[in-house]
């Protein structure tokens, strides 16, 4: 229980950082933080806010799909499908963390859950996710993303890396005990 509370606090911190950053952008554009659903009518689909340097802009854009705009062409059912799907994934991750996760899995799963919940809040509030970090080189742009996306991608990368290292340790342990 105690170990889970530490990770729950990290999840809450990720959600707060994600939501505060998005609400700050909404405030800069509209002069106020819109309530549920109102931001979609107040803010244009894509809006250049500032060119920070030659390879980075702060933009404002709505993402109606999954990470990096995947599945954004699902039509009017997209918000409901994304909310249900994300809710199921987050529920599974939290249940797994509570019941079975190994120590090396906890931080990556915490990052993934916190980021997914941050984006889920946007989907419930607005029907889409706010993305604002835009990296580019010349005319080639990486899809815009947000703090929640950074946490999700970092968590997945750490999870895969930890899985590979744990598997390698297991194989080496078997070899050292005289197994094949």
Residues noted as catalytic: 131, 149
Average pLDDT, the chain: 86
Q: What is the pLDDT of residues 19-65, one digit of tens each?
A: 999 999 988 888 887 776 676 676 767 777 888 888 999 999 988 87
φ and ψ at 101, to 5 degrees? -60, 135
What average pLDDT does the segment 122-147 reach?
90
Residue 13 has pLDDT above 80, yes or no: yes
pLDDT of residue 14: 98
Give percent of the chain above pLDDT 90.
Answer: 48
For residues 159 and 108, the answer to whether their CB atoms sit within 8 Å is: yes
Distance (Å, rounded) from C-alpha 113 to C-alpha 92? 10
pLDDT digits (tens, 9 = 90+) for 86-128: 999 999 999 999 998 988 899 999 999 999 999 999 999 888 8
């Amino acid at each position: 229980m105690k170990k889970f509370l530490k990770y729950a606090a990290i999840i809450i911190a990720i959600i707060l950082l994600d939501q505060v950053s998005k609400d700050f952008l909404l405030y800069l554009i509209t002069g106020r933080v819109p309530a549920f659903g109102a931001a979609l009518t107040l803010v244009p689909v894509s809006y250049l806010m500032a060119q920070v340097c030659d390879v980075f802009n702060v933009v404002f854009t709505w993402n109606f799909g999954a990470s990096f705009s995947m599945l954004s062409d699902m039509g009017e059912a997209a918000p409901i499908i994304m909310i249900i799907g994300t809710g199921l994934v987050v529920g599974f991750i939290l249940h797994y963390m509570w019941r079975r996760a190994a120590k090396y899995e906890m931080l990556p799963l915490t990052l993934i859950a916190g980021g997914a919940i941050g984006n889920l809040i946007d989907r419930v509030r607005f029907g889409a996710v706010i993305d604002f970090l835009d990296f580019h080189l010349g005319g080639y742009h990486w899809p815009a993303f947000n703090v929640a996306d950074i946490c999700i991608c970092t968590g997945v990368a750490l999870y895969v890396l930890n899985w590979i290292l744990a598997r390698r340790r297991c194989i080496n342990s078997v070899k050292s005990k005289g197994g094949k």
